[in-house]
Amino acid sequence: MGNGSGVSRGDRNRNARLARLRVLVPAANAIVGIDLADRKQMVVVTDHDSKVLARKTFRCRAWDLGAAFQFKPAKSPVGFQIDGAYLQNKFDESVTLTSGKAEWWFGTGDIVFWFPVAAETRVRPYILGGGGVYNYKIKPSGTSSSTSETKFGINVGAGFDFDFQSNVGIFLEGRFHNVFIQGSDAKFIPVNVGIRFHTK
């Protein structure tokens, strides 16, 4: 038996989701899509008809390692975090006209806000923001020379804590870093997964 309207339930659900998206993102605004693949990353700006307005491609491989300490009063949704990290990314001549790697050492201090959730909920979303000190070293391939500087920067981000025991959990967090470098600020967005230990 055919559908008299010619519109399936899946079509109606898709149209409803698009309508909700239009409320959140008005048609006058652009949409930015970010693809963080392993070897090639891409940022694409489109309109609401998926027409590409701008595209930027990067080719680099990055990883980082860090540690953090958080303090949060038991009955407060606001806490404080200090952390340090080492980050390395490799770049090639297809984007920067040279190849090599960049190394970053940085330490930040952030205010953290955890959104209120039910006591039995194991997933706790949060946002954070603050500033820090960043040291970076650029090492082009084929030469022993390098460039190193230490600068101030700011960062904002969001994440989720997943508590699977009373004192142990994992977290997923993404942060935007903006380092104040003369001529052109350095910007990067590491996305991290790690283990968090809680003390009472």
pLDDT at 172: 92
Cα separation of 87 and 191, whole Å?
12
The reply to whether 97 and 74 lie within a common domain is: yes
Q: Which domain holds residue 8?
A: 1-58
Tally of domains within the chain: 2
Residue (of 185, 168, 167) closest to 177 by Cα position:
185
Per DSSP, the three-state class of 82 is strand
Helical residues (DSSP H) of 44-124, grouped into ranges: 93-96
Note the pTM of the prediction, 2 decimals: 0.64
The reply to whether 17 and 103 lie within a common domain is: no
The reply to whether 137 and 53 lie within a common domain is: no
The reply to whether 38 and 82 lie within a common domain is: no
Q: What is the DSSP annotation of 113-154? A: EEPP--TT--EEEEEEEEEEEEEEEEEETT-S--EEEEEEEE
> Of 21, 37, 58, which closes a domain?
58
Cα separation of 114 and 75, whole Å?
11
pLDDT tens for residues 74-123?
889 999 999 999 988 776 554 444 567 788 899 999 999 999 988 788 88
The reply to whether 80 and 109 lie within a common domain is: yes
Point out the least confidently predicted range of 8-22, 104-118, 146-160.
8-22
pLDDT at 167: 81
Distances (CA, A) of 138 to 39, 67, 135: 19, 23, 10
